[in-house]
Structure 1
Amino acid sequence: AVHGWHGNGSTGIADSEYFHAIAKYRQWDFHGKFTAASGHNLYTARQFPKEYWNQTAFICAPTGHLIKTGLLEQVGSHFRTNDGFNLMASEDEWTAPIYAYVGPDGAVWFADWYNYIVQHNPTPKGFETGQGNAYITPSRDKTHGRIYRIVYEGDDGGPLERIDRNLEEVTSKELVETLTDSNLLWRMHAQRLLVERGDDSVIPALMKLVEDHSVDEVGLNVGAIHALRTLEGLGAFKGGKEADLLKIALAHPCPGVRQNALQVLPSTDVSVEAILSSGSLQDEDALVRKAALLALADMPASKRAGEKIYEILQTEDNAEDRWIPGAAIAAAARHDNGFLAAALAGQTDLSEEAETESPPENLIADPSFEAAKSGGLVGWKEVTYSGAAEFSVSSLSRIGSQSLQISSAHGADAGWYTEIEVEPNSTYRLSGWIKTQGVQNRGGGKGALLNVHNLQQFKTQAVAGDSGWTEVETNLETGSATKVGINCLFGGWGQSTGTAWFDDLRLEKVSGEEDSPINRAVEVVTAHYAHRGPTNSILSLLQRIPQTSEDFSQSFLTGLAMGWPQGMAPNLKQEELNSISQLIGSLSLEGQVRLFVLLDKWEVKDRFISDLDRLTRILESKAADTNLRDEDRVRSADLLMEVSDSPESIEALSKTISTVESPDYVRGVLRALATSQLREGGEAILSVWPDLGPSAQTTALDSLLRRHDWTLLLLEAFDTGKVQPTLLSLVQRKTLTEHKDLEISSRAKDLYESTPDSETSAQRKEVMGKILAIAPGSGDLEHGKSVFEKNCAVCHTLDGTGGELGPDLTGVGANDRSAILMDILDPNRSVEGVYFQWHVTTEDDFTYSGRLLNETASAVEILEPNGNRNTIPRKEIVDMRMSSLSVMPEGFELLPEEDLVSLVDYLKTRVVGESE
């Protein structure tokens, strides 16, 4: 295990979430998408044509009554499943395929549950929730399930195999021969039986299979792969003469054989040498390179292996691969001495002239739209989401002679749209210039802006009114996306009137050394190395820092600060103390902060008090400097709190908050103050309360609810009237009333029961009954959209934008108005397991409340209502509880009837495919 590192996490591989139903289907959320996807099994026989072999997957969609095919494509060490066709689809609404697999005859066999009800939640109006959180209905059936098989009958297919074979009755020799069968099912049974029999007499025959270097039509040698795994199961690989066989396997022409050979290598010095000398780390197949790294992660430590791991991260194919950088970190941590030595040796003195880099490529073709003169726009299309818009190519331009134009006299939500291929898990910068004339907004409209269609959290600032050419930009993270849709958007989540022009667009990959795979690996591996408290070698490493680049030194020092155990320090003589003082002066501000965190763990920070005072004064000055950009000031505030969590630093930052500061800056400083461990941090946040705008108040309340002693301060502020308890959102109220501290939860319940809008359970039930009667009414769509954005979008995604805390509501309009309103009013009536509220308290008295997004043996990830994702090491958790309630709060019946009716109206209009 790598200390303090949790890897990259999993990611989807499908290029589309949608299935292609041919009949009616029942879904509450994620309409038209997989909600009960079952299986991703490949076709692994030869009865179907060649294009199916080992690359066509079968994904069952019982809610859609179909089995979809996915065409598997290798992308480096990653795979992508491209949208295929339906292997089968039914018009019978009872059909519910739940598993598809290659049968003993080479055909595809699938299990049809044949059940009218597949969904569990939510419980519809008029039904009750029963066992397993499923609602009770006579339409559930457990008696009509059946198994089908799908046979290929074309001339390019193969014959059906016998299904009456009994491998338990054949000899071990025959089982070895079966390892080359064309059907994986029979091969796996043969392998299992050989291992269970433990018959060592077959080892020579198995070795002969491995030595066979032939490959079939798709480049496989299945016999060699199964032979390696069978030899492993028989315990044949113990570091003796079989090592020669594995060296042969590492040179096999089939990548699958090479990959499996790496996976069965015993953990010995001989194996390390075999991996390094075989060239597996430089293999042309990325899956083999990844397997080599993962094999090294379990091998004895080797200085040479660490050096080689550093080398492979220098190549672009490895550095930009989806999984190889993570595999390299796992391996480098095992061989950390060699890796870090190579990394330090690979750095150059900052005084050397940096190599001139070419400017990043603009991925938007014809960014100033000059090609429109001679035949039209390439790759752009007009899209209108609502209202009426006029699209044109204008002679008004910022550079060149043309720009894109959108106009609307009566209001529109529309855009010029194009799709561009990008690299997954990468950062890009989207920028452009916008000019507006008479742009007015209504119903949530933003004006003119650029946004990313399929990643709608990424959008530029909007331009409205009468504005000259204004530059806008935003950075975006692609995640698993391989394409992004770029919108020159007019309106956006509402409508706008007037005219906007768009010109000089750019989409370019952001490549910074500070975010390079090498520096990320250095940070993680250094933290792993530091966890041992290597007092004998640390000082010699620190002496080499001045010869490294700023980004590298920052990563290295960050790793040391993160990983070093508290109280374990090297023996520092006066000469070393002087050397460290000189090092402090040579570092960037961030580097100095990281070094001081390390010195604090060594418990010698006070011996550099003059250096520390100088650093804190600089950071305080930068945080207060209104001539700097907000993000630079906020970064200074973050660094100040990291290096000096003191009453003096807290007071200095709180003094920078005022009504004239931008909301972004104020929220940033509040988040910096929220990292304080001191009571003074909470007091400072409350002291600036009168200077906080609405968005900053929300940030402040989130911060005050995070720590136990600060929460008590907030309750006192409620009692004195300094803060109005009604300002808490419904989610924040629930966090408070469900607090693990009984004093806090009791005071909160008393507080809200005494407010005018509180109700007893019986009263609430009566009120809800009256409100449900308004479901058939009609409201205002634009007002409903505004209500959604204000109250719901923070937790729910709709048409590709919004939060992830609750279910995706895209397509929710397919449901009955009463059902929609019922789930708004009573979210706890039927709760799916993944949407329960969790409360996690850490040893430093921080409380995180939200949805349990992921959990591993070493950490949990909590998604908070404000969108923050918090990865919390299990060793730091002192209390972890699941609430009996949904992450969606109760209390929406307090909204005015007009708001509720308009909200339902708006949700009813949202069908699959409508988005900005």
Structure 2
Amino acid sequence: MVETVVTNTPPAGARLASDRRRHVGVNAPLLNQPLPQFITGGVDRAEQDRGRAAAQLAGKRHVVATSKCASPSRTSLRWCDLPLRFAWEKVVEALFRFQFAALGLLLCFATATHAQDNAPADEFAKVVRTTEPLSPADEMATFTLPEGFKASLVVAEPDIAKPMNMAFDARGRLWVTTSEEYPIPAPADRAGKDRIVVLEDKDGDGIRETVTTFADGLNIPMGVYPYKDGVICFSIPNIWFLQDTDGDGKCDERKELYGPMGFERDTHGMCNGFTRGFDGWLYACHGFNNHTTVAGADGHEITMQSGNTFRFRLDGSRIEHFTHGLVNPFGMTQSPAADLFVADCHTKPVSLLLPGGYYESFGKPHDGLGYVPPMMDHLHGSTAIGGIAQYNADVFPAEYHGNTFGGNVMTGCVNRNSLQQIGSSFRAKEEADFLVSTDPWFRPMDLQVGPDGAMYIADFYNRIIGHYEVGLDHPGRDRKRGRIWKVEYQGNNGNTKSVPMPGESATPDELLAELASPNMPRRTLAMNRLLDSYRNAASPSQSSDAAESVDAQVHALWLQQRQGNLNDQAIRISAEAESELVRVHAFRIIADRDEAVANSGTIMQQGFRDASPLVRRAAVLAAAKHVHFSQLRPLIDLYHDTPAEDVYLQHSVRMALRNHLQSPELFQQLDRELTDRDIKLVAAICLALNTPDAGSFLIRHIRVLSDAPPDEFANYTRFAVRHVSAQNVGTLTAVVRERFADNPSMQLELLKAASDGLKQRGASTPEVIRNWAATLAAELIGLKNGKLPAADADPIVWSYVPYPGGKDQGSPFQVTHRRTSTDGMKETPLYSSLPKGEQQTGIYRSGSFNPGEQFSFYMAGHDGVPKDPAGGKNLVRLRDAATHETLHTWPPPRNDTAHQFNWTNTDDVQCTYIEVVDGDSGNAFAWLAVGRFSVEGLNPNTRIEQRREGIELIGLFQLADFRDVLSILLRRSNSDVTTGELLGKAIAGMQADSRFHALAAACGVTDLAATVRSSVHNALLSDSTDNIEETLGKVMASATSAQQLRVAEPLCSDLTGAKLLVALVDKGKASAELLRRPTVADALKAVADESLNSRVQQLLNSLPDQNAERDALIASRTQNYVQQPGSAVAGEAVFAKNCSVCHQVAGKGKKVGPNLDGIGSRGANRLIEDMLAPNRNVDIAFRTSTVVTTSGKVASGLSRGYDGARLILIDSKGAEISIPRDDIEELVVSRRSPMPDNVAEILTEQQFRDLTAWLLSLRN
């Protein structure tokens, strides 16, 4: 039941639109009557009640939703007294109009809210919500809040459109940036339609009844901060100071402070979250994807790409980088200890900012120290987070104090986290959501705690919130509706009265008294107003509460610091104060000062030893600003003494040490009397220095570092090679080869790291490293005295084949050592189908081999429950490699012990292969394990992988002396296409012609006839190119479309290859569809001449409509998934194999493309479309870059920017392409995604269904 309460009852005849039950009774006879046009406008008209009819009636109307009822739809409504200035005739007219407007809303409610109540369960997963908009009153009825809280409407359309950011001023007024233009900026030939409005409570009753447009003509304004007689805001393309110089409450002067700020690539983040620090700087977020290079009046310039934070002086004098990274930070809040927290859309809902720290982003590197550790793992079921507020007031119950609140614009909730302190660090603990709405249009995108202790929520109220998931010009985007909600705590007594902020004529004494307020927004607003308006008159000694209030003491310190009146003695006294918070701010002030305090060494070391970890971290931040040799040893000791759980203190110490060691003089003084533990700490910091001194330090101490974890030691090697001389590289090589003489795998990793370092440096490979690579390659390949072993000693390759009719979940077979054999052998090495689960099925097929006269092996396992007859699904069979005839079949022994099986080759068959078949998907007794073959090459071993590693190493360093060895191995590799392709790439890499690289790709095509494969090998090894076209034509005739694409892509890297590809298409040897593949089309466009482009276009014109085919594929795959959903468990394995090279989920995988946490919220329809048609909605940050080199070569992929002297691209397979900067002639960014657009060919239908099932499960 809906309970409605009306207080301060309106004049007779007036009815509230939200008083639904009684309204039905009163007006039932009118329901069948024709309605005036302004009523039949439906929801739009009803939603304008507050701005028109209701505004005329009462001047203000305050609608509130409380939590006193269990149901979120139960509401309490209140009317406020009529202002006397309205003439009664207007009131009578408004009453008449409002009654009919209420009836119109009633009819809308009968449809809109009913549909809302019965909305599908997955409505919140849709990127375009299908429900209709609700009036503010009806939307509020969908809110659920904790006991004792109530929500009330502050303002709605038409007074505002889309609210972007909010901020309070020192008079308690609420300033709001509001946009109708978003998400498409106003064109240059007209002014924007957007505004900044000011909401004011002039009579002190807690209701902001006055809405004033302070500035209009703006262009998607976001960040906002009221300042002096105006406001600082961002509006495309600048940060402005909008000023009211004549006191009429309207902007009449506009001053550009900083700009232009990037907006061209993306408008859904830009510059937002303006937050005034204790130090007087204005801190801000730089949103997703845009590039900004900007300077202040002092000429100091910064460059920001995509997510970052920065700070600036309010007079335009200076702008500074604050932190690096994040994806799309939107919203910022400050703690009483001056920590800043941001919400980041696409990484974490809460992140603490460490000055100078680097945060994880899409493929952006860190500074060498690693990313600042996250303070949470959960995502509240969405990566679409907007706004953050920390509650630092005394009105809410104690359990909410210090909590952070975040807007979740996808789930329609305001999330809540409590912050668990761990030393100086914090861990966000997920609490019950603070506000939950059942209206899918509710989009909380900014939050602020007001000076009254209430929470204010900017509601972007919209059917669509996604910036990339839905076209910017989608007609469903609403541009008119927007609401701001106030959530306050009433407790049991219902008291909502708050003390107003000091007014326009406030004296310094009144503002000084506010510094003791338990409400942090009040006291910070008062402090800033004192400094901005009464800078010289404000004297902290006037605050009578300073002695009692720690907060007042803190603000008094900052008042004096910002006035320039705080002396060193006062700082020293504060650094020893009894209050932890005062000590924290004493060191924050030291960090804020341009000059160190007198006797800073003593004070800093005192701070490092403070009992409070928060003070220690503040002291370390101060030390990072004021470097001095006397701080080096104490900082090192502090790091060692800090518990590993205090991740922010440890990271802060490392950043402070980095700043110290950037000085060559300090570095040289440090490198004395260091313990091994100290050396390892300093070595890790060297990776962030990029100096020869750092490289030399690593070389000098390489023996101490050689027991570091492999990844860490590889980083040291990569760095040292990049930064030290060739002579020192020789020293490094000798130590590494000695230390890891018995560990070829580690040597391989270090050689790869050395190769990376040389590429970053843009240097040729020193001979000492080439010799090392050659020695290791020979060992890995198996050369003895420079010769390969006999062919019959080569390991035989096994391959997985899906079981016919079963689910393809990947190979179930793994090597195990768990079984005993009947002859007593323990830990028998066997290929087993048990480890991955007995329900998994598959066939493990060997390469061909000569079985000899007698063939034998051992097998353990089952073929069904022992008491039942054998099922005949699990078996081993020997087959003729020429005819595929089954020569013999063996069932499992139905025993856990491995038994021997024998076969006599009476017919002298020379070439056979083995298949181990697990076709039993039962839950038990459904596995088998096989090994100890009489043909040694069949048995589990590491020789195949080692040989492949050796081949890869030869290709990496282009060791031409191995060409003859590679040629022999290539001719032996007929049945091992994986090794064959690696061999082909190593051989082709020694020459530039793209046609040889296409032949290398052809080596990896399965199911080629032996004669065709032999032709490929011959062409690849030949010095002539005469037979390449004919050979590739035969390959294309046998290849699948996915395999054809792999052969075609390298051909497009130069004009000669491109002409060959088009010729193959022209002659019908290769599919013309190849020309539409993004990786082919973009490369062809970059390399082809006019004649070739013309022929390509003719071939493309002959093809059927691609969108129709793709739409049919999407529809088919969607229908198939609905009818037969996949396995999420199997889908995770598909993701790990095919997708994790570019995408990350729950912190696993590479962060090259978008993070996929929460992607399941998109729903099956959109998810399947995104997988099968990745080029339809491509975020500008993830578009393909195509590079043409000075030699005419072409490469394509996602650009990760420059690393040293080289541009780094990531191709569609997740592989890194490194191109010297000086070799780049042209770089073009297309609108295509680097994601493969042939996923339907790469994955089987079962794999596709499984992957879809797993991705859809990622909702939290």
TM-score by length of 1: 0.58
Deviation of 1:345 after TM superposition, in Å, equals 3.9
Match of 1:382 in 2: none
- Structure 2 residue aligned with 1:183, among 497, 519, 530? 519
- Structure 2 residue aligned with 1:170, among 469, 494, 506? 506
Note closer, same or farther for the CA distance 1:290–1:190 as it changes in structure 2 (3 Å cut): same
- Local SS of the residue matching 2:528: helix
- Structure 1 residue aligned with 2:624, among 297, 322, 327? 297
- Local SS of the residue matching 1:314: helix
Match of 2:453 in 1: 106
Match of 1:317 in 2: 643
Deviation of 1:742 after TM superposition, in Å, equals 2.6
Note closer, same or farther for the CA distance 1:632–1:515 as it changes in structure 2 (3 Å cut): farther
Question: 1: distance between equivalents of 2:780 and 2:1073?
Answer: 30
Letter in 1 for 2:379: E
Is the contact made by 2:1159 and 2:1259 (CA closer than 8 Å) also made in structure 1? no
Question: 1: distance between equivalents of 2:1118 and 2:729?
Answer: 77
Is the contact made by 2:1196 and 2:1209 (CA closer than 8 Å) also made in structure 1? yes
- Structure 1 residue aligned with 2:591, among 218, 243, 263? 263
Is the contact made by 1:347 and 1:547 (CA closer than 8 Å) also made in structure 2? no
Question: 2: distance between equivalents of 1:288 and 1:673?
Answer: 61
Question: 2: distance between equivalents of 1:630 and 1:903?
Answer: 27
Note closer, same or farther for the CA distance 1:713–1:174 as it changes in structure 2 (3 Å cut): farther
Question: 1: distance between equivalents of 2:975 and 2:621?
Answer: 50
Match of 2:394 in 1: 46
Is the contact made by 2:1175 and 2:1233 (CA closer than 8 Å) also made in structure 1? yes
Deviation of 1:243 after TM superposition, in Å, equals 5.0
TM-score by length of 2: 0.44
- Local SS of the residue matching 1:191: helix
Match of 1:692 in 2: 1004
Deviation of 1:278 after TM superposition, in Å, equals 1.5
Match of 2:246 in 1: none
- Local SS of the residue matching 2:516: coil
Match of 1:520 in 2: 684
Question: 1: distance between equivalents of 2:578 and 2:974?
Answer: 67
Question: 2: distance between equivalents of 1:578 and 1:909?
Answer: 52
Deviation of 1:557 after TM superposition, in Å, equals 5.7
Question: 1: distance between equivalents of 2:1189 and 2:577?
Answer: 49
2:1232 paired with 1:885: yes
Is the contact made by 1:47 and 1:160 (CA closer than 8 Å) also made in structure 2? no
2:412 paired with 1:16: no
Note closer, same or farther for the CA distance 1:295–1:811 as it changes in structure 2 (3 Å cut): closer
Match of 1:36 in 2: 384
Note closer, same or farther for the CA distance 1:247–1:909 as it changes in structure 2 (3 Å cut): closer
Match of 1:150 in 2: 487
Deviation of 1:620 after TM superposition, in Å, equals 2.6
Cα deviation, 1:200-251, whole Å, max 9, x if unaligned, reads 56466399999x6x78xxxxx43344344434433446x8555535644698
Question: 1: distance between equivalents of 2:1250 and 2:755?
Answer: 54
Is the contact made by 2:1182 and 2:1234 (CA closer than 8 Å) also made in structure 1? yes
Deviation of 1:43 after TM superposition, in Å, equals 0.9
Match of 1:781 in 2: 1124
Deviation of 1:70 after TM superposition, in Å, equals 1.8
Question: 2: distance between equivalents of 1:190 and 1:262?
Answer: 23
User: Which structure has more RCO (C-alpha within 8 Å, separation ≥ 6)?
Assistant: 1
Question: 2: distance between equivalents of 1:72 and 1:598?
Answer: 41
Q: What are the residue-to-residue correspondences of 1:546-565 with 2, within 5 Å?
A: 549=706, 551=708, 558-564=718-724
Cα deviation, 1:554-604, whole Å, max 9, x if unaligned, reads 76664333235xxx89xx9xxx99999987986657689989999999999
Question: 2: distance between equivalents of 1:602 and 1:121?
Answer: 37
Question: 2: distance between equivalents of 1:874 and 1:205?
Answer: 61
- Local SS of the residue matching 1:148: strand
- Local SS of the residue matching 1:179: helix
Cα deviation, 1:753-784, whole Å, max 9, x if unaligned, reads 687xx566873345457667868965773799
Match of 1:135 in 2: 474
Question: 1: distance between equivalents of 2:1046 and 2:1086?
Answer: 20
Q: What are the residue-to-residue correspondences of 1:319-468 with 2, within 5 Å?
A: 321=647, 324-325=650-651, 328-329=654-655, 331-336=657-662, 338=666, 342=670, 345-347=673-675
Letter in 1 for 2:480: K
- Structure 1 residue aligned with 2:1213, among 863, 866, 875? 866
Is the contact made by 1:634 and 1:668 (CA closer than 8 Å) also made in structure 2? yes
Note closer, same or farther for the CA distance 1:754–1:185 as it changes in structure 2 (3 Å cut): same
Match of 2:60 in 1: none
Match of 1:64 in 2: 411
Note closer, same or farther for the CA distance 1:828–1:709 as it changes in structure 2 (3 Å cut): closer
Note closer, same or farther for the CA distance 1:705–1:577 as it changes in structure 2 (3 Å cut): closer
Q: How many percent identity over aligned positions?
A: 17
2:967 paired with 1:620: no
Note closer, same or farther for the CA distance 1:768–1:812 as it changes in structure 2 (3 Å cut): same
Match of 2:973 in 1: 659
Q: How many pairs were matched up?
A: 689
Deviation of 1:188 after TM superposition, in Å, equals 1.9
- Local SS of the residue matching 1:885: coil
Deviation of 1:47 after TM superposition, in Å, equals 0.5
Is the contact made by 1:195 and 1:230 (CA closer than 8 Å) also made in structure 2? yes
Question: 2: distance between equivalents of 1:915 and 1:252?
Answer: 41
Is the contact made by 1:325 and 1:517 (CA closer than 8 Å) also made in structure 2? no
Is the contact made by 2:574 and 2:582 (CA closer than 8 Å) also made in structure 1? no
- Structure 2 residue aligned with 1:277, among 600, 605, 608? 605
Note closer, same or farther for the CA distance 1:119–1:603 as it changes in structure 2 (3 Å cut): closer
- Structure 2 residue aligned with 1:222, among 534, 551, 556? 551
Is the contact made by 1:310 and 1:343 (CA closer than 8 Å) also made in structure 2? no
Question: 2: distance between equivalents of 1:249 and 1:729?
Answer: 75
Question: 1: distance between equivalents of 2:755 and 2:1256?
Answer: 53
2:1086 paired with 1:734: no
Question: 1: distance between equivalents of 2:674 and 2:1169?
Answer: 63
Letter in 2 for 1:135: H
Deviation of 1:821 after TM superposition, in Å, equals 6.7
Deviation of 1:44 after TM superposition, in Å, equals 1.5
Is the contact made by 1:839 and 1:849 (CA closer than 8 Å) also made in structure 2? yes
- Local SS of the residue matching 2:485: strand
Cα deviation, 1:81-124, whole Å, max 9, x if unaligned, reads 2222232223334433333321221122223333344345545x
Letter in 2 for 1:615: W
Deviation of 1:41 after TM superposition, in Å, equals 0.7
Is the contact made by 2:376 and 2:428 (CA closer than 8 Å) also made in structure 1? yes
Q: CA RMSD in A?
A: 6.3
Deviation larger for 337-346 or 846-855: 846-855
Question: 1: distance between equivalents of 2:601 and 2:581?
Answer: 20
Letter in 2 for 1:16: H
Letter in 1 for 2:526: A
Deviation of 1:49 after TM superposition, in Å, equals 1.3
- Local SS of the residue matching 1:169: coil
Deviation of 1:822 after TM superposition, in Å, equals 5.9
Note closer, same or farther for the CA distance 1:108–1:554 as it changes in structure 2 (3 Å cut): closer
Deviation of 1:184 after TM superposition, in Å, equals 1.8
Any stretches of 5+ residues in structure 2 without a counterpart? 1-355, 358-364, 742-746, 783-794, 796-940, 1008-1038
Question: 1: distance between equivalents of 2:614 and 2:626?
Answer: 19
Question: 2: distance between equivalents of 1:603 and 1:648?
Answer: 24
Letter in 1 for 2:635: I
Letter in 2 for 1:659: S
Cα deviation, 1:153-173, whole Å, max 9, x if unaligned, reads 22699975313532x533334
- Local SS of the residue matching 1:178: helix
Note closer, same or farther for the CA distance 1:561–1:652 as it changes in structure 2 (3 Å cut): farther
Is the contact made by 1:61 and 1:68 (CA closer than 8 Å) also made in structure 2? yes
Letter in 2 for 1:230: L
Note closer, same or farther for the CA distance 1:523–1:796 as it changes in structure 2 (3 Å cut): closer
Note closer, same or farther for the CA distance 1:809–1:242 as it changes in structure 2 (3 Å cut): closer
Cα deviation, 1:587-624, whole Å, max 9, x if unaligned, reads 65768998999999999999x96x56753442232332
Higher relative helix content: 1
